[in-house]
Structure 1
Amino acid sequence: MDSEQQPSARHFDHCPWLFADEATEEQLTAQLKRQEMIGGDRGIGERCYVADSAAVFTDRLWLGDDSYIAAHAYVTGELTTGADCTLNPFSVVRGTVTLGSGVRIGAHTSLLGFNHGMAPDRPVFQQPHTSRGITVGDDVWIGSHVVVVDGVTIGDHCVIGAGAVVTRDLAPWTVAAGNPARPLRDRRDSAARPSRTDHAHAGDPLARFADTARAQVADILGRCWDGERYVDRPGAAPTVRAHCDAVEIADLLLGAAPGQLTAEEHAERLRGAQDPYTGLVPEFDEPLPAADEDGFIGEGPALYHVLSVGYALDLLGASFPHPVRGVREMSARQLVARLEELPWRDGAWGAGAWIDSWATAAHWNLRHADVGGDRPGVEPGALEALFGWLLTRADPWTGMWGSPSPEAGRLQVVNGYYRLTRGSFAQFGLPVPHPERVVDAVLDHARDARYFGARQENACNVLDVAHPLWLCTRQLGGGAGAGGYRSAEIRTWAEGQLAAALPRWQDGRGFGFGPGSAGPGPEPGLQGTEMWLAIIWLLADLLGRSDTLGYRPRGVHRPEPARARTP
């Protein structure tokens, strides 16, 4: 091309970063007309470029300033980007995809934020679509010929090598490659960090633990399979939660479904356990719980099954076949009345657990409505009523709900706070109120020797401190590193708990829940193993070392929001 010749539209299609500086007035006008021709809900920032040859058929397109869609890209569904994002030639972005700022998507790369069902009762082309969405953080480079599948979150500052297939979430600063993509090192290291199995990590207790757990997990799952169903531990009765815990553990350590059944068979069993009218999942061989006057239940295993079965199905690439009726039909007025009646004074844990279940059911209902439901997932104004009530009732001195007591100290309040915020603020990606005061209250509780003295810790109590600390430090910025709010105390507590937790692993059996009669007790089983694996990740992440584990929770205890949109 002659150096004095103005670049053509075809040239800009392949080199869109030149457009803002080199386009003629005529080309600028033509580009604005091109953008106006894009259908659906649209918002396009300054100095953006959409190639004429790109196939953009979106329901919603929001491009931040200085963002480009290059030649022959194929974009459908809902795409939201920050500033300075580029979809390079022949890239494919479909379903619900959210990009941060400064994201580069390599040529021929596909971000597939949707999926087909796989039920055996009909051909694949007749299966309904599902969409969990893909979220990519800021300052991310995804190389050429990469595939990112539905439901994946890629953290800030990640780099994904060419040809990778990303099937699991990646922590911030991860450099990953392979099929399936695996973390290789931390981008902040000046030189390549050895992989988890290299000699440099051979003496790291976290790396040794993760290697041991990964090598033994198949035997642990097999030990808890009675030939027909999963039990928490040998000799116990089969439970719905045991099946869900098995799915979570296998996904966490193996990136696959438990080997006793195919993924499709696991999903079929769990979907089949849901009552089609109420949307609830009763315990095996037990009747459906009776609904209260407002249409939803107040206690019992079915409350937790909203979480455990829903997330197990999510990990299997499936979902509940029916909405949870009592949550879908509860009005904002009924919800507020229920919130006022919850046992905040003497049962804050139960109150928090109820909110966790209700809000999680709302999350699944909204997803059900998103993929073809015939009515809204929740009544108009109900979610707004929930968060409005919580924000106005939080104690400004503790950031929590409920009151401590001389008999139990802060146990009910802190444990209820974890359950409440897990299902509401954390799951929906909203900031919690008064995070500094929460840190103060949680650290005060963590000094209570009744629950954190020598050999007193159980999985529930440690998780219910670790997660609020993790959630609040991320919201406050800086994590638990230098300069973070009470970071030295948080790190000291996390280091002590991590050092105590790792030796509790019992070869070939996993983790027990904890001493005493609380929960399943000290005998190793699926519930204790699932919970302690998540706790160890949270503790390690508070210390900036979770990448050493090579796993990241994606189910009930996932760190990222499960729903990208705010209510």
Structure 2
Amino acid sequence: MQQTVHEDGHLEHCPWLFEAEASEDQRAAQSRRQAALTAAGDTEIGERCFVAASAAVYPDRLRLGSGSFIAAHAYVTGDIRTGSDCTLNPFTTVRGAVRLGDGVRIGAHSSLLGFDHSTATDRPIHRQPLTSVGISVGDDVWIGSHVVVLDGVVIADHCVIGAGAVVTKDVPAWSVAVGNPARVIRDRRAAPKTAKAATGGADRLNEALAGFAVAAREQGAAVIARCWDPEAPGGGRYRDRPGDVPTVRAHCDAIEIADLLLGAAPEQLTAVEHTARLRALQDPETGLVAQLDPATALPGPLPAPDEDGFVSDGAAQYHVLSVGYALDLLGSSLPHPISPVQRMTAGQLSDRLDRLPWREHAWSAGSWIDSWASATHWNLTHGADPAPGALETLFGWLLTRADPCTGMWGSPSRDGDRLQVVNGYYRLTRGSFAQYGLPVPHPERVIDAVLDHARNPRYFGAGRENACNVLDVAHPLWLCARQTGHRADEARAWAEQQLAAALPRWRAGRGFAFGPAPEGGGPGREPGLQGTEMWLALMWLLADLAGRADLLGYRPRGVHRPEPASTSPSPDKQRAQTNR
């Protein structure tokens, strides 16, 4: 049979034909092109490779494995390394730090973006510095057309990413992932189910989630309005439920709920008035926010400081989170730095960490760290840097004290109950590792520990779940799932079970109740702002664990936001995340 000699354009779009069908002139031109690339910079190209003349290939470093192709009009920059038999199909964009294993196929018009812009509000976007964690793709992976993979993502071996997906978090091995944001819909190794078995329960849960989201948005304004007390001093205040006293947290919860469901500030005040009220609560000397006086609904006295200057009072600690994030949602910020945290030395912090009540009350220890780390985050936005070595001390202490058997801090109670330890883990990691975008230690062991705790009927028996206890399991599962696919099916099944149980608890025009109060307090079974804010965030975390978050149409942006909110404590952040 006579060999067909294709035009250059055909081979550029179908580079897999080059080895067998290119003419001598075409082979010579390809050799010259590859030689020019290797001469121009830090580039190595293996045997049987092809680089299209129309491709824009301007790498800082390029390692192209044998039998790999860069097809027509691809755009390649940064530090790119591929294994053997990889194909960047026409019009693909691969930029930043990107690692591909063997046998990776990237469909036309897809983008792997191994870098990102910072988005701080202190300067225009075009003046923001770039960051790069990097993208890692395993062996035997097919990425369909028009897919976008964002910086920091790991796609493990043998995955298939469906056309048009936007991959924002890690994908476990053997997964088929689709959608925006991408969610895992099945394991490639699993035997196909019948249509009825595969879709019946999933369809019902999907319909319930979508129906809930519509109802919650329609009723969000009424949920907030029922908790507004127009007769309270100062021109009205928010309380958690009708009949309760006004609180700072209730005001912040109202802002979070309105942002989630309505995309605006609560209608009782203008955004400017909300901002002014919350900023006025902060003590200019310490930067702390006291609880409102029940008699006057005005700011009361601050709690007495501890020896190192910070506080142990629960309300003042939580206001660091709630007021800070409420103002952030309003496009503003705390007017003053939180000075006791800014002044605390690395030695004082280390001593305090040693003295926290890890054995008897790990939740309090975790909440103290959450508040301290959040205060440091807000201080950094002010340009008020912590004492030298303080943040490094925090993360160094945590990394060296984590129990390798559970990945957690603290000790179970005498009867083996893990409630305090799991409670403390959520609060601690929310403010530290999650808020600063750092990987947690021993994620597989954490998943084992929280799934074991989630079987405790004392807290997770029928009708016993409250927002705090469910959140304390859901967030660690979600956080660790960004690093590992360990027991992903069990975590997904647990999340679906919790979703199915929680959806009927929404009360029209009143929202969610917190649920049966934990030992020591909690708002209880009456719907209110705290329960509604927590369960709305929980619904998103659970739905995301179950691969269904897109059905809700919202994404938390405040206290329970899934994205990191702050900068790394040290220049080692990129190495720590890249090597996770």
Interval of TM-score (by shorter of Structure 1 and Structure 2): 0.5 to 0.7
Displacement of 1:201 in angstroms is 9.5
Please say if 1:543 is aligned against 2:551.
no
What are the residue-to-residue correspondences of 1:225-236 with 2, within 5 Å? 225-227=228-230, 228-236=236-244
Please say if 1:456 is aligned against 2:459.
no
Please say if 1:311 is aligned against 2:325.
yes
Displacement of 1:45 in angstroms is 2.8
Of 560, 564, 567 in structure 1, the residue corresponding to residue 563 of structure 2 is 560
Q: Quote the residue 2:89 is aligned against.
A: none
Q: 1:231 to 1:135 in 2, by over 3 A?
A: farther
Displacement of 1:154 in angstroms is 11
The answer to whether the Cα contact below 8 Å between 2:514 and 2:523 also exists between their aligned partners in 1 is yes
Q: What letter matches 1:393 in structure 2?
A: R
Q: What letter matches 2:379 in structure 1?
A: N
What are the residue-to-residue correspondences of 1:10-49 with 2, within 5 Å? 45-46=60-61
The answer to whether the Cα contact below 8 Å between 2:114 and 2:133 also exists between their aligned partners in 1 is no
What are the residue-to-residue correspondences of 1:32-181 with 2, within 5 Å? 45-46=60-61, 64-65=78-79, 82-83=96-97, 102-103=112-113, 113-115=119-121
Of 529, 533, 540 in structure 1, the residue corresponding to residue 532 of structure 2 is 529
SS in 1 for 2:494: helix
Deviations 1:53-110 (A, max 9, x none): xxxxxxxxxx8348xxxxxxxxxxxxxx7248xxxxxxxxxxxxxxx983499xxxx9
Please say if 1:265 is aligned against 2:273.
yes
The answer to whether the Cα contact below 8 Å between 1:335 and 1:382 also exists between their aligned partners in 2 is yes
The answer to whether the Cα contact below 8 Å between 1:430 and 1:566 also exists between their aligned partners in 2 is no
Q: 1:528 to 1:472 in 2, by over 3 A?
A: same
Q: 1:293 to 1:316 in 2, by over 3 A?
A: same
The answer to whether the Cα contact below 8 Å between 1:359 and 1:423 also exists between their aligned partners in 2 is yes
Q: Quote the residue 2:489 is aligned against.
A: 488
Distance in 2 (alpha carbons) for counterparts of 1:208 and 1:153: 33
The answer to whether the Cα contact below 8 Å between 2:366 and 2:426 also exists between their aligned partners in 1 is yes
Q: What letter matches 1:514 in structure 2?
A: G
The answer to whether the Cα contact below 8 Å between 1:82 and 1:101 also exists between their aligned partners in 2 is no
Q: Quote the residue 1:447 is aligned against.
A: 455
Q: What letter matches 1:102 in structure 2?
A: L
Deviations 1:519-563 (A, max 9, x none): 111110000000001111111111111111111111111112112
Of 334, 348, 362 in structure 2, the residue corresponding to residue 348 of structure 1 is 362
Q: What letter matches 1:362 in structure 2?
A: T
What are the residue-to-residue correspondences of 1:474-485 with 2, within 5 Å? 474-476=482-484, 478=485, 485=486
SS in 2 for 1:475: coil
Displacement of 1:115 in angstroms is 3.8
- The structure with the largest alpha-carbon Rg is 2
Deviations 1:320-346 (A, max 9, x none): 111111110000000010011111110
SS in 2 for 1:82: strand
Q: Which moved more, 1:131-140 or 1:293-302?
A: 131-140
Q: Quote the residue 2:309 is aligned against.
A: 295
Q: Quote the residue 1:148 is aligned against.
A: none
Cα RMSD for the two superposed structures: 4.1
Displacement of 1:254 in angstroms is 1.8
With normalisation by structure 1, the TM-score equals 0.68
Displacement of 1:266 in angstroms is 1.4
Q: Which blocks of at least 5 consecutive residues in structure 1 are unaligned?
A: 1-19, 30-43, 48-62, 67-80, 85-99, 118-124, 144-151, 162-168, 174-182, 190-199, 370-375, 479-484
Of 387, 391, 415 in structure 1, the residue corresponding to residue 395 of structure 2 is 387
Distance in 2 (alpha carbons) for counterparts of 1:544 and 1:495: 10
With normalisation by structure 2, the TM-score equals 0.66
Distance in 2 (alpha carbons) for counterparts of 1:136 and 1:159: 24
Distance in 1 (alpha carbons) for counterparts of 2:381 and 2:163: 30
Q: Quote the residue 2:26 is aligned against.
A: none
Q: Quote the residue 1:497 is aligned against.
A: 498
The answer to whether the Cα contact below 8 Å between 1:101 and 1:137 also exists between their aligned partners in 2 is no
Aligned-pair identity in percent equals 62
Q: What letter matches 2:494 in structure 1?
A: W
Q: 1:171 to 1:391 in 2, by over 3 A?
A: closer
Q: 1:431 to 1:460 in 2, by over 3 A?
A: same
Displacement of 1:473 in angstroms is 1.6
Deviations 1:343-371 (A, max 9, x none): 111000000000000011111111111xx
Q: 1:136 to 1:83 in 2, by over 3 A?
A: closer
Q: Quote the residue 1:192 is aligned against.
A: none
